């Protein structure tokens, strides 16, 4: 994990050594690694002169911070009110079946991970699924396979190029 | 540069666009437009304009708020009224460019209506039935100006209020806001002027101004649209507040789920600094004010003011006991004025146009307008701004266009997970802080979800409670454990394990949680359950006593059934769509759902061709006709 420490040194060099900047610092670390590696948390703690537990206490309080990596294509299913009212849960279950993982999990090949989000604010298009940056409006369980197959084809094409 | 000079420059730029010799194409590119493909439309326009010998200017705006018509494009061409085109796709773009811009066919078949003129057809948008009830005070610029160009905002009157405020004394500003009757738009409705006055009187220095843009309610997106479409209005309101309090530091706390809003806010801050409207020595008055955007990290509780301040300090977002109130000891224990996005956006209107203008709008005790995110089972999904005091019925039917697909109205959920569900009998309730609270709901930050006969109220209550239970910070025992207990009772009910005494248990627990919790989350978390028990008791009884879900939603109480007489027998749509191989063929060739394998995903219902319509949901499960199918084990 030496890479982590070096890359982290570069990130921390840009951050103020101020305890109140903890959340923005953790956000930068997560942007760089996709999650908060344990080594990185320990480094942040010594940089800010805080204990490991204090850092973990803050990081684990906020839903945005994760301690395991995301898939290459992270899938987020919106579980906001509008999406729930039109069957968002059925879509989520269809995703769990299709990927054979549970919410919060990641596929064995580390390609896809599945999470639920509270609301992405596109209530007019409910139910909404997001893969990476792309928003899939008006989803249904039957459309799940189609979206995943298209994703696989694209990934294969990208691999060929 | 004086404000007059800044304004002159901005007006010149705006007029060069408006008194166009070349057509102007405005394309909404807020988050929800993007989700419907607005960026592809922008690209298509750029390609067409490059291909054809026609000149036009493309402006990317925020959202008008008509979410069901997105992507929305407004084209102004000399000698034509401005025409709004709805649901524009890249395929339509060549027609619009070639047909309208190059030749003179305005392609009215794609149009939603026009913004000028108004002699019968084509439809004139300001004369549509919904426009009669709407009043766009905060949304006035949304969808018309380039949110990333401060000159557009200034040319339309922006920052005049700041320039005026800088000539007033702090007490005059506070008095003006007090007289306007403005109440906080974050949900609770505390009078903004009174809060400002207390903060002004607080002795400690420095003071802080915080804009709460942590719009965490699922189903609410008003603040996002305002930030993405007219960010300068929020900045102006904050700068005026900062001046009134002699504060030099403001924060905007936004959700991390709103990257576009953050981007547009940061651009807006930079541009305001360049014009000398923000930063050091604002407009030459010697007043300094900085604004920093702080991105939250996905905790709903941080919408609560004391939790939000702890979060900015880099701590866990736990609400704290009050007093002291945040106006005395807020961020870093210093006096802090915290308001919602829309509250700040109201301030330039009040200072610019006078408190009387503002207080003439609305109802006696709630002044100004209410902005709602209308969603759920309603035709016109989107943003709605109406004077306070407008009835729910007008919003749902006249503006919202009624319930989708002609279904029957069942209820409307106002105020998100902290609010309540109101049934049909309450449709004539006026929308203002006090009337909604009296009915058991609350204004909240402004989410409004319409529910129809296909929505189960018990399931809806369970959904909201599941949300608040997960988001409870865990500090107060009643909130942490009480909501968990309520949730497990509700889960029993929706899965058919409910007991007759459960309803009383829910009411008792709910009341105790409200009494025993410190912050707004716990104190309002039981609202959705309490209002549904009160107004939709018969649905709870059906679940508990008959094991039946009247809306056919709760999975353990329903079964999918294929009506043999309707099944076409030759088609295999349902069989192929079933993820669990639960659909088998009867010897008489119609299809049968093997209930032991069915995962109740609803695929078969969705794919069964409408001409057969053979799949139905039944509840209670005990009513399921026997299939007389001895399902043979093929091995």
Query: How do residues B553-592 score in pLDDT, each as one tens digit?
Result: 999 999 999 999 999 988 999 999 998 889 999 888 999 9
- pLDDT tier for residue B239 given thresholds of 50, 70 and 90: very high
* Shortest Cα–Cα distance, A67 to chain B (Å): 14
What CATH number does residue B590 fall under?
3.30.70.20
Same domain, B187 and B117: no
What CATH number does residue B51 fall under?
3.40.30.10
Residue numbers in A near B316 (CB within 8 A): 57-58, 61
Residue numbers in A near B220 (CB within 8 A): 119, 121
Percent of chain B with pLDDT over 90: 81
Query: How do residues B137-169 score in pLDDT, each as one tens digit?
Result: 999 999 999 999 999 999 999 999 999 999 999
Same domain, B387 and B533: no
- Is position B387 within any domain? yes
**A vs B: CB pairs below 8 A:** 141
Contact between B142 and B65 under an 8 Å Cβ cutoff? The reply is yes
Same domain, B205 and B347: yes
Contact A81 B464 (CB under 8 A): yes
- pLDDT tier for residue B416 given thresholds of 50, 70 and 90: confident
| Local structure of residue B407 (DSSP, 8 states) | P
- Is position B553 within any domain? no
Contact B451 A94 (CB under 8 A): no
- pLDDT tier for residue B633 given thresholds of 50, 70 and 90: very low
What CATH number does residue B428 fall under?
3.10.20.600
Contact B32 A93 (CB under 8 A): no
Same domain, B420 and B338: no
- Is position B221 within any domain? yes
DSSP string, B510-576: HHHHHHT-SSHHHHHTTHHHHHHHHH-HHHHHHHHHS---TTS--GGG-EEEE-TTT--SS--HHHH
**Residue in this structure with the two tokens 């607080």, named with its chain if needed:** B202
* Shortest Cα–Cα distance, B464 to chain A (Å): 8
* Continuous segment of H or E residues that includes residue B346: helix B341-353
User: CA geometry: angle at B404 spanning B403 and B405, to 5°?
Assistant: 120
- Is position B216 within any domain? yes
Q: Which of B307, B325, B359 is the last residue of a domain?
A: B359
Query: How do residues B358-370 score in pLDDT, each as one tens digit?
Result: 999 999 999 999 9
Query: How do residues B11-49 score in pLDDT, each as one tens digit?
Result: 999 998 887 688 999 999 998 898 889 999 999 999 999
Look at residue A103 and give its three-state secondary structure.
coil
Domain that holds residue B286: 158-359
Same domain, B488 and B506: yes
Residue A94 contacts B where some CB pair is shorter than 8 Å:
yes
Residue numbers in B near A65 (CB within 8 A): 297-298
Same domain, B239 and B191: yes
Is residue B124's pLDDT more than 80? no
- Single out the residue of A118, A111, A105 nearest to residue A148, CA to CA: A111
Residue B452 has φ and ψ, to the nearest 5°, of -115, -175
- Is position B305 within any domain? yes
- Is position B6 within any domain? no
* Shortest Cα–Cα distance, B554 to chain A (Å): 11
Compute the distance between CA of residue B379 and CA of residue A84 in angstroms, rounded to an integer: 17
Look at residue B348 and give its three-state secondary structure.
helix
Contact A90 B601 (CB under 8 A): yes
Is residue B630's pLDDT more than 60? no
Instruction: Over range A40-61, report the average pLDDT.
Output: 95
Contact B577 A142 (CB under 8 A): yes
Same domain, B346 and B425: no
Same domain, B430 and B379: yes
Q: CA-based Rg of chain A, rounded to a whole angstrom?
A: 18
Q: Residue B634: its pLDDT value, please?
A: 42
Examine the predicted complex and report whether its ipTM is higher than 0.85.
yes
Query: How do residues B169-181 score in pLDDT, each as one tens digit?
Result: 999 999 999 999 9
- A81, A128, A142 ranked by CB distance to B603: nearest: A142
Q: Residue B635: its pLDDT value, please?
A: 40
Of the listed ranges B103-112, B440-449, B623-632, the least confidently predicted one is B623-632
When scoring B480, B579, B580 by the number of chain A Cβ atoms within 10 A, the one with the most, hence best to mutate, is B579
Chain A residue with minimal CA distance to B578?
Answer: A142
Residue A120 contacts B where some CB pair is shorter than 8 Å:
yes
Same domain, B183 and B267: yes
Q: Which of B359, B391, B423 is the last residue of a domain?
A: B359
* Shortest Cα–Cα distance, A50 to chain B (Å): 12
What's this model's pTM, rounded to 2 decimal places? 0.93
Residue A127 contacts B where some CB pair is shorter than 8 Å:
no
- Is position B132 within any domain? no
Query: How do residues B369-397 score in pLDDT, each as one tens digit?
Result: 999 999 999 999 999 999 999 999 999 99
Contact A123 B67 (CB under 8 A): yes
Contact between B225 and B62 under an 8 Å Cβ cutoff? The reply is yes
Residue numbers in B near A26 (CB within 8 A): 297
Same domain, B195 and B335: yes
Contact A58 B258 (CB under 8 A): no
What CATH number does residue B239 fall under?
3.40.50.11540
Same domain, B281 and B381: no
Pairing of strands B420-423, B409-414: antiparallel
Domains and CATH numbers, chain A: 2-61 (1.10.10), 73-160 (3.40.30.10)
Same domain, B255 and B318: yes
Contact between A121 and B31 under an 8 Å Cβ cutoff? The reply is yes
Q: Domain tally for chain B? A: 5
Is residue A91's pLDDT more than 60? yes
Q: Which of B77, B110, B127 is the last residue of a domain?
A: B127
Mean pLDDT of chain B: 93
List Cβ neighbours of B481 (8 Å cut-off, separation of 6 or more): none
- Is position B50 within any domain? yes
List the beta bridge partners of residue B412. Answer: B422, B450
């Amino acid at each position: 994990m030496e890479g982590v420490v070096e890359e982290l040194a570069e990130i921390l060099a840009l951050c103020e050594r101020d305890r109140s900047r903890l959340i923005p610092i953790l956000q930068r670390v997560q942007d760089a690694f996709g999650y908060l590696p344990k080594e990185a948390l320990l480094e942040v703690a010594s940089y800010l002169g805080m204990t490991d537990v204090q850092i973990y206490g803050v990081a684990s309080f906020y839903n945005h911070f994760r301690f395991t990596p995301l898939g290459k294509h992270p899938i987020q299913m919106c579980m906001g009110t509008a999406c729930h009212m039109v069957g968002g849960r059925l879509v989520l279950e269809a995703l769990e079946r299709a990927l054979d993982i549970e919410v919060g999990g990641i596929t064995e090949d580390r390609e896809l991970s599945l999470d639920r989000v509270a609301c992405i604010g596109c209530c007019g298009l409910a139910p909404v699924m997001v893969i990476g940056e792309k928003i899939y409006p008006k989803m249904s369980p039957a459309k799940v396979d189609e979206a995943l197959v298209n994703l696989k084809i694209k990934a294969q094409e990208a691999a060929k190029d | 540069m004086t404000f007059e000079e800044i304004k002159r420059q901005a007006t010149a730029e705006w007029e060069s666009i408006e008194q166009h010799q070349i057509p102007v194409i405005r394309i909404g590119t807020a988050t929800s437009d993007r989700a419907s493909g607005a960026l592809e439309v922008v690209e298509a326009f750029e390609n067409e304009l490059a291909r054809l010998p026609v000149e036009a200017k493309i402006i990317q705006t925020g959202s008008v708020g008509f979410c069901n018509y997105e992507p929305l494009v407004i084209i102004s061409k000399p000698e034509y009224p401005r025409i709004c085109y709805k649901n524009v796709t890249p395929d339509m773009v060549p027609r619009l460019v070639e047909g309208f811009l190059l030749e003179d066919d305005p392609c009215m078949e794609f149009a939603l209506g026009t913004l000028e003129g108004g002699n019968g057809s084509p439809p004139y948008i300001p004369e549509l039935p919904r426009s009669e009830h709407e009043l766009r005070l905060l949304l006035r610029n949304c969808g018309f100006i380039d949110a990333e160009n401060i000159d557009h905002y200034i040319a339309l009157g922006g920052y005049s209020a700041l320039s005026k405020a800088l000539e007033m004394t702090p007490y005059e500003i506070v008095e003006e806001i007090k007289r306007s009757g403005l109440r906080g738009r974050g949900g609770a409705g505390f009078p903004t002027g009174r809060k400002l006055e207390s903060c002004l009187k607080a002795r400690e220095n420095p003071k802080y101004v915080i804009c709460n843009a942590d719009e965490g309610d699922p189903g609410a997106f008003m603040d996002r649209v305002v930030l993405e479409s007219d960010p300068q209005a929020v900045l102006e309101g904050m700068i005026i507040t900062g001046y009134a309090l002699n504060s030099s530091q403001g924060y905007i706390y936004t959700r991390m789920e709103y990257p576009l809003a953050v981007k547009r806010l940061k651009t807006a801050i930079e541009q305001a600094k360049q014009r000398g409207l923000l930063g050091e020595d604002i407009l030459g008055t010697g007043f300094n004010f900085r604004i920093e955007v702080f991105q939250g990290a996905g905790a709903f509780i941080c919408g609560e003011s004391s939790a939000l301040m702890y979060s900015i300090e880099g701590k866990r977002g736990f609400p704290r006991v009050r007093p002291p109130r945040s106006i005395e000891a807020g961020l870093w224990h210093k006096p802090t004025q915290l308001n919602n996005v829309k509250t700040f956006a109201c301030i330039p209107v009040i200072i610019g146009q006078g408190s009387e203008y503002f207080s003439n709008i609305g109802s006696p005790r709630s002044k100004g307008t209410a902005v709602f995110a209308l969603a759920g089972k309603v035709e016109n999904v989107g943003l709605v701004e109406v004077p306070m005091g407008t009835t729910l019925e007008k919003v749902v039917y006249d503006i919202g266009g009624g319930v989708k697909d002609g279904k029957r109205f069942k209820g409307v959920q106002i105020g998100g997970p902290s609010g309540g569900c109101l049934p049909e009998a309450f449709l004539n309730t006026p929308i203002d802080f006090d009337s909604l609270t009296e009915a058991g709901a609350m204004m909240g930050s402004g989410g409004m979800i319409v529910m129809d006969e296909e929505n189960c109220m018990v399931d809806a209550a369970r959904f909201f409670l599941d949300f608040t239970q997960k988001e409870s910070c865990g500090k107060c025992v009643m909130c942490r454990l009480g909501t968990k207990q309520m949730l497990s009772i509700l889960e029993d009910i929706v899965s058919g394990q409910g007991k007759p005494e459960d309803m009383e248990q829910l009411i008792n627990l709910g009341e105790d949680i409200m009494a025993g919790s410190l912050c707004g989350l716990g104190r309002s978390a039981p609202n959705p359950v309490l209002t549904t028990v009160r107004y939709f008791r018969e649905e709870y009884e059906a679940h508990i006593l008959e094991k039946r879900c009247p809306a056919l939603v709760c999975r353990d109480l329903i079964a999918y059934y294929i009506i043999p007489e309707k099944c076409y027998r030759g088609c295999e749509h349902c069989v192929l769509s079933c993820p669990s191989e639960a659909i088998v063929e009867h010897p008489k060739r119609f299809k049968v759902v093997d209930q032991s394998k069915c995962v109740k995903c609803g695929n078969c219902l969705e794919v069964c061709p409408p001409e057969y319509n053979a799949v139905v949901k039944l509840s209670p499960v005990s009513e399921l006709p026997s299939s007389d199918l001895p399902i043979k084990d093929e091995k």
